[in-house]
Structure 1
Amino acid sequence: MIQLSQKMAEGAAHEIQQDFVKENDLTFNKVDLVKDNELAFNKVASELPANPIEPLVNLTQAASYNRIGASVVDKNNEVIGSLLDIHV
């Protein structure tokens, strides 16, 4: 369960990073050439704004799974310790 939560956290962090990091930081210097039949003011923005909610929910869920997994490991260690105390 702890390994699953770690993979979930890594995936969520990667999604968040992809949403906020651009491939090229100098895109503001890019000059777009306007074709004869295509004018800049007629373009419709097709890119939707980045939605970080889903990756953040996944990150929170991964943190919960990690806590649950750690709790299971602690209980397991307590039980093994008790069994060893009883056996001796």
Structure 2
Amino acid sequence: ELQVDAALVPEVAVRKMAEGPVAGKANVLIFPDLNSGNIAGKLTQRLANAEAWGPLVQGLSKAASDLSRGCSVLDIIAVSTIVAVQAQRLKRRG
């Protein structure tokens, strides 16, 4: 478990003595609940003009996601593709 700055910024990871293979190099962030993930994702997407697909809900018996009413067509396509892959994997595990 890393604080977000230590997870994303190598110099901060060194200063905070964060250890692990992803310290300062994380490309996936995990949040404790749907609301936290929504807030962080929308801030990232809007302020950085970045692609942020999700939130992707994990741990359910079926593949699921949640799309914002403000999402784009690309968001819908990307998240639908990810959820379809999750559904296929769940089906194989049976």
Larger RCO (alpha carbons 8 Å, 6+ apart) = 1
TM-score, normalising length: structure 2: 0.30
Look at both structures and tell me which one has the larger radius of gyration over its CA atoms: 1
Question: More helix by proportion, 1 or 2?
Answer: 1
Question: More strand by proportion, 1 or 2?
Answer: 2
